[in-house]
Structure 1
Amino acid sequence: MSSRSPARPRRHRIVASLLLVPLFAAPAAAQRPFDTGTTVGVEAAVASLVALVVGGGLLAFAPTYTGRTTRRITEDPGETFVYGVGLGVAVVVLVVVLVLTVVGSLLVIPLAVVVAVAGTLGYLAAGRVVTDSRPLVLLVAVFLAVAVAVVPLLGGLLGFVLSSLGMGAAYLDYRDDGASTGDGTPGG
């Protein structure tokens, strides 16, 4: 019998899965029709910059909140994903309604910022599965953001899942009024 915790084998499987993403990134990106590579490069640069700024900001300025919400994702991914997908559908409907009005159109940009910040929590949670070191968590989040931008189909699916997890965790944290999950200690 090994003295490892039950979370360790799961962590190894997830790390192995994350390491497979670059193996498929180049061939999948090469399948983009009529693309010279410039668009992919710009998308990857923007994705990495957003993940770096938003993820770094969350880790630096809201470490307790970030730790609490990312822990929720890793402890109960099913519930956070379901709530995230439901919230995503609600946001799409809300954006359509807001765009139909002049005043509502002005609210779409702040709503997009909130969704981007909440979605980034999913990327950070994936980083927390790999390591507890904040710089490495951020590095994994940036790497995944680039993979999402570069890989056409699987990247979009990965981005949808990670963003849904993040939005679901943000909503559940708001619903529970910031109550701590797990062992009751603040995250970080």
Structure 2
Amino acid sequence: MAFQPGDHLWKKGGRLSGKIYDHHIIYKGRHATGHAIIENSFRAGRVVQKTLSDEQLKPYELYERPGNADRCLSRAEAALAECRKYSLIFYNCETFANDCLHGHGGSFQVRRATGHVALLTSVSSAAATSAAVGLVTTQHVVINVPDKGAFGVWAYLGYTHPVVKKIVVSHPLGIAAASGAACGCCIWSCFALFGRDPRKRRRHG
């Protein structure tokens, strides 16, 4: 695909086959020595302009095409002139690119990571509670048993005496916590499976 000035591009970044994070840039245009791009760089700690070769640009995909390319580039140039600082949570590469296109930032990666952390915390807390209190507990109950004294005469006459017995019963808190952990795992699985960015469509082949 031929990229156009102002395009928001993305690629898989980082180690572990790009499973850690995605990188986002604004495509500025082609010139004699390569492709000019503007990005919010984690390494540089600010918004910078770079020149990429054809090979370096090859991994990138179109994420979104702006409705107004000139306005998008103008915002990118302004952030570059201001040396806007990088912030992993509040102003990362994706936030920068979205800010250039729409005038307001936002990071799908941060929202997704926050969701994972929240679900992990919830599931871990429920599992820890379940492990701490256990799924079962013992109770002491008093039952009346027939009185076998005097050759069973008292039992025949209906006399009984109390006996304390220990019984095993389910622990309400442990069962509730285990159910919560299982439910949280199901929600977490659905979140991981269906909570993907719909704009990311990789080429095949």
Smaller-chain TM-score bracket: under 0.3
Q: TM-score, normalised by structure 2?
A: 0.22
Greater fraction of residues in helix:
1
**Structure with greater Cα Rg:** 2
